[in-house]
A and B are shown apart, each in its own frame.
Chain A
Amino acid sequence: MSVLAGLKVVELSNEYCAFAGKLLGDMGADVVLVEPPGGDPSRTYPPFFRDEEDREKSLYFWHYNTSKRGVVLDLDDADDLARLKALILEADILVESEPVSRLSALGLDYEQTHADNPGLIHVALTPYGRKEPMSDLPQTDLTLMAAGGPPWNCGYDDHLLPPVRGWGNQGYHTGCHFAVMSMFTALLARLQTGRGQFIDISMTAALNVTTEAGSYSWLINQTTVERQTGRHAATQPTGETQMRCADGRWVNTGVPPRFPAEFAKLLNWMADLGLVESFPEAVFLEMGANWQGPFDLSQIGTDDTITAIFMAGREGLQTIAATVSAQDFFEGCQSAGLAVGVINSPEEALEDPHFIAHGMKVPVRHEELDETVIYPGAPFVLPAAPWRISRPAPKVGEHNEEIFAIYSGQESP
């Protein structure tokens, strides 16, 4: 049984909260996506299935709306609004990102939903939280991210280049992660009390607490981190950690060797590759490998020997990188106990043996196209409560009849 089997979720379509609905749907909840006439605007977002621009073929919409049923309701129409209210009356969870004014005009603010359905967990995911009027201003992932902090941390050593907003609507994702954590927390509370509650999530606040040292350096001693190429923003400049390998692809070297065993393995690897003779600093690697007692990293820069050994470690990695492919560098370093990563594009990752072994390619049947499409798999799996994409994203109004026959008193055809 899926972990959320039997749970009824109503989601008012909005790109801010779509991912939360998908996460719940893939964990087994019965998510009903309520779209406006013509469908949600995100149906027009590229990319499209075989580049065929069509509101039923947006791969963006497909991804964020798996495992949901879909209805179209015109909330400015009294009958349709009544249908929505009937849905909410039966629901365990309402997820929405509506402007405050819109919600109260519809009679759907929490006072009302709670009065009608005391067990309801009403989740509002908005730019600044439900009480802040700025939440009703138009925003995109980019502007939310800029306000919330991540881009300040992200970019290049060259500060003439702009800060970078990480790719792929991660600002929306971060808000949705907190939405799902909140829903589970409220579900567990409801098991004890029988009562639902209102959950007010601020997307910019979610980003504000998702910047690691960016926030805590300021909170602790009012220092400001500065962005650096391919590594953590920091209050003081740190050494580079990205290297380009012989095949032109990049790796992140993480923390360079700092333990004797790591220097020993690095030296052996260089010997295997026949690189030791042309690497004069090999002598320092050997000293590192034979180091007795603690290797005091705080002496880097002051103690000449320790500095030379540490630098030789970094240069040794560079020498190897110039000789081997990024994938070989990754696997070789990891075999030497160094936490190094190959920098994959998303599709390179999807084709990587690790992700294939973890079942991250999930086939989903699209009957209407007579096609099977590969989707990314589960972020995590509960072995006793399987994760599953139970259906592809709904077509516009696909489930109106199925869902509303019972409310309108009409028989389903």
Chain B
Amino acid sequence: MTGTALGKYRICDFTGQLAGAGATKWLAAFGAEVIRIEDPTRQGRWDILRGNPPFKDERTGIDMGGAFNNHNTDKLGITLNLKTEKGKTLLRELIAISDAVTENFAAGVLERWGFSFDAMREIKPDIIYVSNCGFGYTGPYAPFKTWGPIVQAVSGLTHTSALPGQPPAGWGYSYMDHTGAYYMAMAILAALYHRERTGEGQWVDLACTDSALTLNGPALLDWTVNGRGLTEDGAVNANRSQFQRMAPHGIYPCKGDDDWVAIACQDDAQWHALAMLIGEGWTDAFQNVEARLSDQDVLDAHLGAWTASRNKFDLQSRLRELRIPVSAVQKPGERIDEDPTTEAFGLWPEVTHSAIGNIRVDGQPVHFSETDWDSRQGAPCLGEHTEDVLTRLLGRTPEDVAALRQEGVI
């Protein structure tokens, strides 16, 4: 027993961006030894976040990328030039002592370097290989390239995030980079669990668009069963309830600079409590949910006029007292520095990065009673752990490492 949940596992990790790096970040937080491999000839810039803004204190440089640090905490970082034979030899040795190989390149990159799943299986028969690629390795779009917003567009998530009479709003961030990483983490963990029980390795060819498609399940059933789709004008109003019959249910303006509040009434009792607080005659027309749903535009206009002169956090307090579902639409600074619940949960750990110094990052939104996560170390600088890994795990001497560096292998 190592004291951590995943301390016995070693991951040979080619992931980057968020869609891949987010997956192995979870493993590293729970103690897995994640060895991130980067290309020294490109300074690891395949990962567009390496060396790119935002920067802390305006300090720029290949090791200073703030987002890169956020997504790669607790990992080791080595450089390997896989265009060299010696680089390939080192990779083969590393695979031989790893439990899993992970990547989110475009389909086929690893194979072109000579490391197809079959080749890796020859090196280590029970190796686990998890690739996370927008369209996966098979099907008509396998050669196509994606980013998070492209995955979201093709799979239905962008279309459904919209207000009536407006173009799609989309997600405003790469929801499917985050979520693709969550599914990739599940796939790695599931494959490890399967190997523990059967001794078998396998290749999980995760297509991020497939994961994304499944996130609109009830809408897809409405289509396959009832033939009802979401392409008609007005079919989508993302801020309203899609399922449970609830009204009001929306995001309403408040006093202040771009301040908004989300309010939902799940039943008549909650509505009546809200109507009492509002105390205006128009509420009388909305006694039951049928009335509220059938005239929801009018209801929303009235409610929005009422909230507009009020402070969002005051409304939040009042409605919470009445046990009506409510939340201010929190801005980043509000939820990170002023919302006591995130701080109390330990959600923003401060890690130490060798070049950036101490900096807060996204933590994990979970706590385990026995083997909790622990994030202390920032992302690796380029090649920060090359010597450590080559000497400690691959039997090279410091002199060997110096020579490999001279030859451009690392």
Interface size on A, residues (CB 8 A): 154
Identify the closest chain B residue to A218 (Cβ): B332
Given known contacts A188-B193, A252-B153, A346-B219, is B167 in contact with A242 (CB within 8 Å)? yes
Which B residue sits closest to A154, measured CB to CB? B172
Question: Chain B: how many interface residues by the 8 Å CB criterion?
Answer: 154
Chain B's nearest CB lies how many Å from the CB of A232? 6
Residue among A140, A186, A212, A346 making CB contact with B325, cutoff 8 Å? A140
On whether the beta carbons of B260 and A140 are closer than 8 Å, the reply is: no
Q: From known contacts A146-B330, A341-B150, infer whether A177 and B366 are also in contact, taking CB-CB under 8 Å.
A: no
B149 touches A168 (CB 8 A): no
Is A342 close to B, CB under 8 A?
Answer: yes
**In chain A, what residue has the closest Cβ to B165?**
A161
Q: Contact between A168 and B178 (Cβ–Cβ < 8 Å)? A: no
* CB interface residues, A 159-194, toward B, < 8 Å: 159, 161-170, 173-175, 177-178, 180-182, 184-189, 191-193
A148 at the interface (CB under 8 A from B): yes
Given contacts A153-B173, A164-B169, A374-B224, contact A382 B159 (CB under 8 A): no
Q: A129-B367, A216-B66, A346-B223 are in contact. Are A156 and B169 (CB under 8 A)?
A: yes
In the complex the two chains form, is B147's CB within 8 Å of A220's CB?
no
Tell me whether B241 and A198 are in contact (CB under 8 A): no
A41 to B183, CA, bound (A): 28
The yes or no answer to A409 lying at the interface (CB within 8 A) is no
Report yes or no: A212 in contact with B239, Cβ–Cβ below 8 A. Answer: no
* A78 contacts the other chain (CB 8 A): no
CB within 8 Å of B: which A186-232 residues? 186-189, 191-193, 195, 197-206, 208-225, 227-232
Q: Which of chain A's residues have a CB closer than 8 A to the CB of B194?
A: 3, 382, 384-385
Q: Is B213 a contact partner of A355 (Cβ separation < 8 A)?
A: yes
Known: A181-B189, A354-B135. A201 touches B366 (CB 8 A): yes
Q: Which residues of A, 230-275, contact B by the 8 Å Cβ criterion? A: 230-233, 235, 241-242, 244, 250-252, 254-255
Contacts of B80 in A (CB 8 A): none
Docked complex Cα distance between A201 and B345 (Å): 10
Interface membership of chain B positions 346-379, coded 1 if the CB is closer than 8 angstroms to chain A and 0 otherwise? 0110000000000111111111111100000000
Most chain B CB within a 10 A radius of its CB, from A164, A192, A211, A381 = A164
Contact A188 B333 (CB under 8 A): no
* Interface hits, B193-209 → A, CB 8 Å: 193-194, 196, 198, 200, 202-207, 209
Q: Given contacts A146-B251, A230-B167, A374-B224, is CB(A170)–CB(B369) below 8 Å? A: no
Closest residue to A216 on the B side, CB-wise?
B70
9 A-B pairs within 8 Å (CB atoms) are namely A146-B327, A153-B171, A193-B370, A197-B369, A230-B158, A339-B150, A348-B159, A350-B156, A380-B186
